[in-house]
Structure 1
Amino acid sequence: MQEAYFIDQLQAKGLKVTPQRQEILRVFLESKKSHLSAEDIHTKIIQKFPSMSLDTVYRNLSVMREIGILTELNFGDRKNLFEINTSGHHHHLICIKCGCSQEIDFCPLDFLDQRQIKNFKVQKHSFEIFGLCNNCHE
């Protein structure tokens, strides 16, 4: 997805498209890592916007999460990470030693017997499997 798509989403929600928000989007779109912390983003943004505080990054990430541009991830004892919402809903395998993560391309909820949750309307869910990646296992 292109930056213009996400800018359209901001505008559709009546939000200003500030240079700082555009830069946050660029950091995600240009990053080799798909999961970034607020600190990762801040480190990259202050090169272009030296006066931008970490609090401002957090506020913008929160706004983008609320409108669906970003997804916030919590992989247990690590700090919260964010990813741009390009591929929709997915889940992860997370290495407990090095912290690397890998997306899995199915949703375990699809395999749940729906009769078990018949009186419950799922609004959101997450599914992460914690273990050791091949590099850490060897």
Structure 2
Amino acid sequence: MDARKAIKTLKERGYKYTDKRKEIIGFLDEQKGYVPAKEVLTFMQERYEGLSFDTVYRNLSLFADLGILEASEWEGEKRFRLSCEEDHHHHMICLTCGKTKHIPVCPMEHFQASADDFKITSHKFEIFGYCMPCQRS
């Protein structure tokens, strides 16, 4: 998803389009992977002195609920990125820079047959490691 589509989704779902929301989405649109909420806060506080973590985090959570953002958590910290709009897939995530690489297959295909007595409603599959540039540094 790009910033333009994210803002369109926000408006279509009846939410206000504010400068702060535009800046958060624009910032995430420029990133290559998952970004910690604290990094979004730092970026926003450079533009809006005194802006609280709660305000930023509330907006990030709203965007995730609306499907504008994807959220992941590692090392005790929640991180966000603009949602993918491609076919169903999963990600490999670099623990250093947050860059993602698509995994074109879904392991859930193997679980469906063995889950006869369990109704699966959703799933998330992520592989964590280090991208080549981060391995080198």
Structure 2 unaligned residues grouped into runs of 5+: none
Q: What is the aligned partner in structure 2 of residue 59 from structure 1?
A: 58
Match of 2:4 in 1: 4
Equivalent residue of 1:15, what SS? coil
TM-score (norm 2): 0.79
Stretches (4+) displaced over 6 A: none
Q: Which AA in structure 1 matches 2:127?
A: I
Residues matched between the structures, number: 135
Which residue number corresponds to residue 116 of structure 2?
A: 118
For 1:18, the equivalent position in structure 2 comes to 18
Structure 1: gaps (5+ residues): none
Distance in 2 separating the partners of 1:79 and 1:52:
20
- Name 2:30's counterpart in structure 1: 30
TM-score of the pair, normalised by structure 1: 0.79
Match of 2:82 among 62, 73, 84: 84
Give the root-mean-square deviation of aligned CA atoms. 2.6
Distance 1:104 1:60 in 2: 26
Match of 1:107 in 2: 105
1:73 and 1:80 in contact (8 A); partners too: yes
Q: Counterpart of 1:50?
A: 49
Query: Per-residue CA shift, 1:98-133, capped at 9, x if unaligned?
Result: 465532332333541532123433322111224455
